[in-house]
Structure 1
C-alpha cells in the first residue's frame, strides 16, 4: 500500500508487520484441508498526515461478508450491551413510535430486536445473506446490501430520513471510508444523529491487542482520525464515550455539520489522552512491534513447555482475532489440541491457516484438559464465569493478551 485511503498521502510508516495470513473468518471444512489456502500480507501502517492506521485492502468486503460465520447473538454480554445501548439512546434522543432507527451492518438482529420491542420503526442494512435471514426470522426488518451513497439515498427515499443511524463495529470493516461515510450522511436526518462504535487505537496499542488486526479490519481509529474521516461526509463528532467492549472501544456521536455545535468536554479529554500517548505524531507507534514480539514469545514458551511436560492445552472460542494470534505465533494442533465455540456453524471446521479443529463446548468438560487458552480475551469476565467448571479437575485458564496470564478458576 503506497497511499492513504483517507487523505491520499504517500507518507505511510510501518507500525507492525504480522506476516501473511488467511482471512480470519474463512473456516475450513474437512474437505478443504487437502486444498491450497490463500494468504495475504497483514501489515499495519499509519499515515503521518491524517494519522489513520490502516492495512492494505487486499480482500474485498464482498469476499468476507456475503456469507459470514459471525453471529453476534452467540455472545450473551454483547446482546446485553446492545440492549443497554438502545435503552440509553432512546432516552438521550427521545426516540419513540414516531422515530426511525437504521443500523448498518445489523448482523442477526442482536441490536434492532430491542428497538422492535420498544415499538420504534427500524431497518437493518446487512450484507450477509445468512445472518440477515436470521434477523428477519426474529422479526427485524432487514435489507441485504452494503452501505454506499446510493444505498443510503435509496433507503432515505423509501423509508424517510433516520433519527438515529447506528454503525457499531463496522466503520473499521470498509475500505471505501469516503463512500461509506457519504452513505451515513445520506441516511441520517438533517437534525439526526450517527452513533459509531469502533475499537480505540489507544487501547489497541497500549494493551498489546494486536490480534484485533486482521483482514476484515481495514483501519484503526483514534478519535482524531475518526473525526477527520467523518468530516469528509459532512458529519462532525460532538461527543465520545469510552467503552470496555473489545478490550477498549469508543462510541462516537456525530451530527450533520450544520447542526453539530461544539464538542463535549469528554471528547476534548479523550483527544488530550491520545495526544499525550503520542498517537497524533509518530512517537506513539514506534515501540509497538517490539511489544507484539514479546506476546508471541511468551505464549510460545508456555505452550512448548506444556507440551514437553505432557500437559493438554485446548482453546475456548474461535473468533477472528484468535486466528491472527494463532497464525502469527504458528500455533497448530501439536500445541493446541482443539478449540471450541458456541456457534454451531463452526463445529467440525478448522481454523484458517493453523487448521486447529473446532468442536462443541461440551468437549472441555468431557476431556478435562490441563489448560484452556481463552482466545476471545475481551470477554474475560463472561467466559471466566462460563468456564468456572474447569476448576473441578484443577484446570487453569490462560489469557494471552495484553500479557500472558495463567489463572486458577475459583467457583
Structure 2
C-alpha cells in the first residue's frame, strides 16, 4: 500500500483511470504519439484524509515553456482575482510597505491589481512564457518553481512576505514539505498563507471525476488541509467556500497562535464528517458514479453518431484529458474541440488526438450538440453562445450526471 506524501500514513486506492497522457500536452500532428504517459490512480490517506494521486508526474513534463493555461482567459476568474486582490489591499496588505508573493502567478491576473496599487509583489511561476504576459503588464515575476531554496532567496532579497498566495497551484505540488519549509523561511511572523483550490466535498457531491488528473496531485478538504498545516508546523485558521471551478475553498493558514480559528472552519469540519469524507464507502460510491457516467456518456455519443447527429467539443481543458482518455472518446465521436486558447489551436488533444480549432469553427456551421468539457464555466459559456441555442443546438454535460440541456 502506498504511503501518504503528507503524513506517511497508508493510502487506500479508490479509483484507477488507467494509462493517461499529461493533460496539457497538446501535440502537433507531426508529434502525435510522443506524449508522456503515466498511471492515473487516486487514493485517500487513512490517517490525515488527504486525497492524492499514487503516481507522480515529473513537474517538468507538466509545467514548462509551452504551458498553455491562462488564468485571464475567463472573465469570471478575472473578476474573482481582482476582487480578492482589492480585499487583500484593504486588510493584510494595508500596512507599512507590505509585500505579497504569489505561487503559480501565471499571467499575473491577480497581481496586476496589486501592482497598480503600488504594493511590493513577486510572482513565482516556472513557465517563462506566461511570465512574459505578466511582465508586459508591469508585474514582477521570477521564473522558477517555488520551493525551499527559492523562498530563502526571495526572503534574502526582498524581506518577509505579509501574504503568500496560491490559487489552483498548491494542489499540483507533491513535495509539500519543501513548500512549507519555504513558507516558514519567507512568511512574516504575523503573515498568512492563503490557498485556493478545488474542494473535495464539491467534487464528491457532483461526481466531478474529471477534476482528477495529473496536475491535481492533491484534492483538498478542510480536514486534510488542517492536518497538513499541523504536520508542517502551521495552523489552519479560516476557510471560505467559493463558487469558482464548480466549487472551491479558500484556506487561510498562519503560524500557531497568531490568529483565532473561525467558526466557519468548525462548521465545515462538522459538515465533512457528516458527508463522510473520511469513509471508504464514500469513495466506493464515487467510483461507481464514475463508471456509470462514462458508460452513459459513451452510449449517448454512439447513439447520436448512429442518428447522423453532429457533436463537437467545447473547451479543450486539462481535465478533459481524463474524460476523453478514460472513456475512449476519439475523433470518430467528437471530430474537433473549440477552444479560445491560441496555444492549443491547430494541435491535437493528448492521447486521443482530437483536433483543437478556434472558437469561430463552432458556428461554421453550428453542430447539433456540443459536449461541454469546460462545465465549470457553464453559465459564462452558455450566455456567450446564445446563438447556438437559438439555432437549436443542445449542450451535453456529464457533471453531476450525463444530461442534455
Class of the TM-score when normalised by the shorter of the 2 chains? over 0.9
Q: Where does residue 405 of structure 1 map in the other structure? A: 403
Q: Where does residue 176 of structure 2 map in the other structure? A: 177
Q: Is the Cα–Cα contact under 8 Å of residues 178 and 229 in structure 1 kept in the other structure?
A: no
Q: Where does residue 161 of structure 1 map in the other structure? A: 160
Say whether 1:198 aligns with 2:203: no
Q: Where does residue 333 of structure 1 map in the other structure? A: 331
Q: Where does residue 4 of structure 1 map in the other structure? A: 4
Q: Which runs of structure 2 are paired with 1:360-375 in the superposition (5 Å)?
A: 360-375=358-373
Moved more, 229-238 or 145-154: 229-238
Query: CA–CA distance in 1 between the matches of 2:400 and 2:258?
Result: 40
Query: CA–CA distance in 2 between the matches of 1:298 and 1:325?
Result: 12
Q: Is the Cα–Cα contact under 8 Å of residues 200 and 219 in structure 2 kept in the other structure?
A: yes
Moved over 4 A (4+): none
Q: 1:57 to 1:376 in 2, by over 3 A?
A: same
Q: Which runs of structure 2 are paired with 1:19-30 in the superposition (5 Å)?
A: 19-30=18-29
- Tell me the CA shift for residue 96 of structure 1: 5.7
Query: CA–CA distance in 1 between the matches of 2:402 and 2:319?
Result: 16
Number of aligned residue pairs: give it: 404
Aligned with 2:343: secondary structure? helix
Deviation per CA, 1:73-129: give whole Å up to 9, x if none.
111111111001111222233526721111110001111011112221111011111
Query: CA–CA distance in 2 between the matches of 1:59 and 1:391?
Result: 40
Query: CA–CA distance in 2 between the matches of 1:29 and 1:42?
Result: 23
- Tell me the CA shift for residue 4 of structure 1: 1.2
Q: Is the Cα–Cα contact under 8 Å of residues 56 and 174 in structure 2 kept in the other structure?
A: no
Query: CA–CA distance in 1 between the matches of 2:331 and 2:26?
Result: 15
The answer for unaligned runs of 5 or more in structure 2 is none
Q: Is the Cα–Cα contact under 8 Å of residues 93 and 99 in structure 2 kept in the other structure?
A: no
TM-score by length of 1: 0.95
TM-score by length of 2: 0.97
Aligned with 1:259: secondary structure? coil
Q: Where does residue 215 of structure 2 map in the other structure? A: 216
The answer for unaligned runs of 5 or more in structure 1 is none
Q: Is the Cα–Cα contact under 8 Å of residues 368 and 390 in structure 1 kept in the other structure?
A: yes
Q: Where does residue 272 of structure 2 map in the other structure? A: 274
Query: CA–CA distance in 2 between the matches of 1:283 and 1:396?
Result: 35
Moved more, 317-326 or 86-95: 86-95
Query: CA–CA distance in 2 between the matches of 1:106 and 1:37?
Result: 26
Q: Is the Cα–Cα contact under 8 Å of residues 301 and 333 in structure 2 kept in the other structure?
A: yes
Query: CA–CA distance in 2 between the matches of 1:49 and 1:401?
Result: 29
Say whether 1:79 aligns with 2:78: yes
Q: Where does residue 346 of structure 2 map in the other structure? A: 348
Q: Is the Cα–Cα contact under 8 Å of residues 254 and 260 in structure 1 kept in the other structure?
A: no
Q: Is the Cα–Cα contact under 8 Å of residues 97 and 120 in structure 1 kept in the other structure?
A: no
Q: Is the Cα–Cα contact under 8 Å of residues 22 and 61 in structure 2 kept in the other structure?
A: no
Q: 1:96 to 1:395 in 2, by over 3 A?
A: farther
CA RMSD, 1 decimal: 1.4
Q: Which runs of structure 2 are paired with 1:223-372 in the superposition (5 Å)?
A: 223-261=222-260, 263-372=261-370
Aligned with 1:336: secondary structure? coil
- Tell me the CA shift for residue 264 of structure 1: 0.5
Query: CA–CA distance in 2 between the matches of 1:94 and 1:26?
Result: 37
